[in-house]
Amino acid sequence: MEKRIFDKLGFETSLLGLGCMRFPQKEGKIDLAETEKLVDACIAGGINYFDTAYVYGDGDSENAVRRTLVERYPRERFYLANKLPMWLLPEGHTPQELLETSLRRTDVSYFDNYLLHNLNQENWEICKKERLVDFIFAKKSAGIVRNAGFSFHDTPEVLNEILHAGDWDFVQLQINYYDWETAQRAREQYEMVTERGIPCIIMEPVRGGALASPHPDVVSLLRGTNPEASPASWALRFAGSLPNTAVVLSGMSTMEQVEENLRLFDPFQPLSAEEAELLKRAVAVMESLPLIPCTGCNYCGDCPKNVRISSAFEAYNSCMRFDQMADLRARIQTCHIADCIECGKCETHCPQHIAIRSELKKILACAEALV
């Protein structure tokens, strides 16, 4: 397993890390038996970095991490990252309570990396009001947190303000070859963090799975250069090829994904200049498609009318990507799009800043036109 070491972090990380948001499911719950196998394969393959969060699965992810990792392996065998959801503070929670709950659920006495979760302009205002930068660095001084950082979903301008607010040990960014030069401005964000000497942890390298199953024209383009390489492997190699990358998080949910990714990172082969140019051509193809830029994070999941927003977007994108629009009506039948009351709550939580209400109307209109 390729390893990276940065003085800021103080420990050597596996270049590939396990994102714990998409554990194997069975009957709507995390399948602990399958998750054990997955975690065992990760450990055996040299992965030592695991990333969970208070809100993943309403706490089920943290509990699964305890059952499948913490209770079965020595603490010095792995590095564990967790996150503070500041948007819950206006509901009456306190930062200390959220941290203690995460420590209890995972059954650890400290987190190697602790993040202010999903920082954007709105959540950053909460952080300033609640003095969360002071809070997280106080916990670092107390030894409950080894490294203090944040995950980020907004513009470079907002990122710049946050970077100047503390002596951050790391930053977690959404970086993939699609977002690199497009509206997400991932390249600018990466360069800002790198210039400050802060190591970068990469999330969404495959953009919520979208880059694992791109448009057939993109697949043909990539396979024309390397017939054996999967589309997902191209995305992971892009992320791992960036020199300031400490960890590339992959939300692996099957043994097949784990096995493929372990092979990819042992040994890791960075992209050549020619391969990097090929990915730019792939982006040009994708930019010509009218897809919704949803990563499936489901931060919009707390809909008062139980509209399954991310499922509707995934269905639309899949039908569009694979020229299967005739199936759209059946695919969105259980998404309850027509129940939307346009309150806009979902849009305030969307890291991708999608105009969700407009997109839902578009999907519904497309489906009705197929009758």
Helix (H, G, I), strand (E, B) or coil at 18: strand
The CATH T-level fold of domain 3-287 is TIM Barrel (3.20.20)
Q: Quick check: 323 pLDDT over 70?
A: no
Q: Which two tokens stand for residue 79?
A: 């590095």
CB < 8 Å & 24+ apart, contacts of 45-48? 45/1, 45/258, 45/262, 45/266, 46/1, 46/3, 46/14, 46/262, 46/265, 46/266, 47/1, 47/14, 47/16, 47/17, 47/18, 47/262, 48/12, 48/13, 48/14, 48/77, 48/78, 48/79
Q: Quick check: 238 pLDDT over 90?
A: yes
pLDDT at position 321: 66
Give the pLDDT band of residue 314 (cuts 50, 70, 90). confident
Give the pLDDT band of residue 112 (cuts 50, 70, 90). very high
Q: Which two tokens stand for residue 153?
A: 């979903």
Largest CA distance in the chain: 62
pLDDT at position 371: 59
Instruction: Report how far apart, in Å, the C-alpha atoms of 154 and of each of 31, 98, 157, 321 are.
Output: 33, 24, 8, 26
Distance between CA 163 and CA 209 in Å, rounded? 29
Ranges of each domain in the chain: 3-287, 309-369
Q: Quick check: 135 pLDDT over 80?
A: yes
Rounded mean pLDDT of 356-360? 95
Q: Quick check: 109 pLDDT over 80?
A: yes
Distance between CA 371 and CA 124 in Å, rounded? 45
Q: Which residues pair with 145 in a beta bridge?
A: 111
Measured in residues, the chain has a length of 371
205-219 pLDDT, tens digit each = 998 777 888 888 889
Q: Quick check: 249 pLDDT over 90?
A: yes
Distance between CA 7 and CA 182 in Å, rounded? 31
83-108 pLDDT, tens digit each = 999 999 988 899 999 999 999 999 99
Q: Quick check: 153 pLDDT over 70?
A: yes
Give the pLDDT band of residue 257 (cuts 50, 70, 90). very high
Distance between CA 97 and CA 118 in Å, rounded? 19
Q: Quick check: 322 pLDDT over 70?
A: no
Give me the phi and psi of 58, to 5 degrees please.
55, 40
Give the pLDDT band of residue 301 (cuts 50, 70, 90). confident
Mean pLDDT, all residues of the chain? 92
Give the pLDDT band of residue 161 (cuts 50, 70, 90). very high
Specify whether the CB–CB gap between 122 and 348 falls below 8 A.
yes
User: What residue has token string 């009456």?
Assistant: 92
Specify whether the CB–CB gap between 68 and 36 falls below 8 A.
yes
Rounded mean pLDDT of 338-362? 93
List the single range of 31-40, 66-75, 90-99, 310-319 with lowest mean pLDDT: 310-319
Rounded mean pLDDT of 151-159? 93
For the entire predicted model, the pTM comes to 0.80
pLDDT at position 291: 86
